[in-house]
Amino acid sequence: MLRQLKALVRVARNFVYQNAYRGTGRRCPICGHETRRFRPFGVEYKREQAMCVHCGALERHRLVWLFLERRTDLFTPPPKRMLHIAPEPCESRIRDRVGAGHVSADLSDPNVDVHFDAMSIPYADASFDVVYCSHVLEHVPDDRRALREFRRVLAPRGYALFLVPISAPETFEDPTIVDPRDRVLAFGQDDHMRRYGPDFVDRLLEAGFHVQVVRDRDVANAAEIALMGLDGAGEIFLATP
């Protein structure tokens, strides 16, 4: 009963938002809908033009979608094997495009294919052509171990996409900070284990990856960046064996 009530509230809320933001000027590349503007969103820092009112995609989701469409062959034959860590609802279209080779995974979400800890992935070496892990590693106690696991299960000619919030000049972590209130003060959220800096690249290199940093201007022109609300999307860390 509670689940049904929450679903009804969500439908009603979305209806209100979709009508309030009706118009043109912004377009979501994932769902294809146009709106007058995107919704504000943000936990630590509120961003005024962030969320699509139709599919819930944020800036980073829209950037990744464009990158996958324009810079990879993920959505074209032959079919690929993709490990998608902690997919968000707006990313269901990735699964639709990839097909049977798409494997969704999470530690506890009941709506994924498999459950495991990213620090111990239950797949053989070179099992996947593509790994996609967005805004997850900041929650993982030992992110270096997780990165080594992602490197292990990635095929020799595959690639991985990592996204993390960059919110410090250099990465800061302290495993002795365990109180939720102290974690909010130190890391921005009570379930975050660290703040990442641009030196996140070093952790990828340590795990055995080659790294390329992809930004909005690498996949879209200035007009598209404005139209699709890509400002604030952050970086995609493209990692290859």
State how far the alpha carbon of 232 is from the alpha carbons of 60, 62, 181, 240, in Å.
Answer: 8, 11, 26, 25
- State the CB neighbour count (10 A cutoff) for residue 77: 6
Backbone angles phi, psi at 64, to 5 degrees: -60, -40
Per-residue pLDDT of the chain (241 residues; tens, 9 = 90+): 555 554 454 555 555 566 677 888 999 999 999 999 999 988 766 888 899 999 999 999 999 999 999 999 999 999 999 999 999 999 999 999 999 999 999 999 999 999 999 999 999 999 999 999 999 999 999 999 999 999 999 999 999 999 999 999 999 999 999 999 999 999 999 999 999 999 999 999 999 999 999 999 999 999 999 999 999 899 999 999 9
Contact 215, 64 (CB under 8 A): no
Angstrom distance (rounded) from CA 117 to CA 165: 20
Q: Which amino acid is at 58?
A: L
Residue 9: predicted pLDDT: 46
- Minimal CA–CA distance to 203: which of 148, 157, 241? 148
Cα separation, 81 vs 85, whole angstroms: 13
Query: Residues of 177-191 as b/e, b for ≥16 C-beta within 10 angstroms?
Result: beeeeebeebbbeee
Q: What letter would DSSP give residue 211? A: E
**Hey, which bits of 147-188 come out as E strands?**
154-163, 172-173
Quick check: pTM over 0.75? Answer: yes
The number of residues in the chain equals 241
pLDDT at 22: 81
Residues 53 and 44: their CA atoms lie apart, in Å, by 20
The tokens describing 125, both together, are 């070496």
**Looking at the domain 58-240, which fold is it?**
Rossmann fold (3.40.50)
CA terminus-to-terminus distance, the chain: 48
Domain range list for the chain? 58-240
Are 47 and 59 contacting, i.e. CB atoms less than 8 angstroms apart? yes
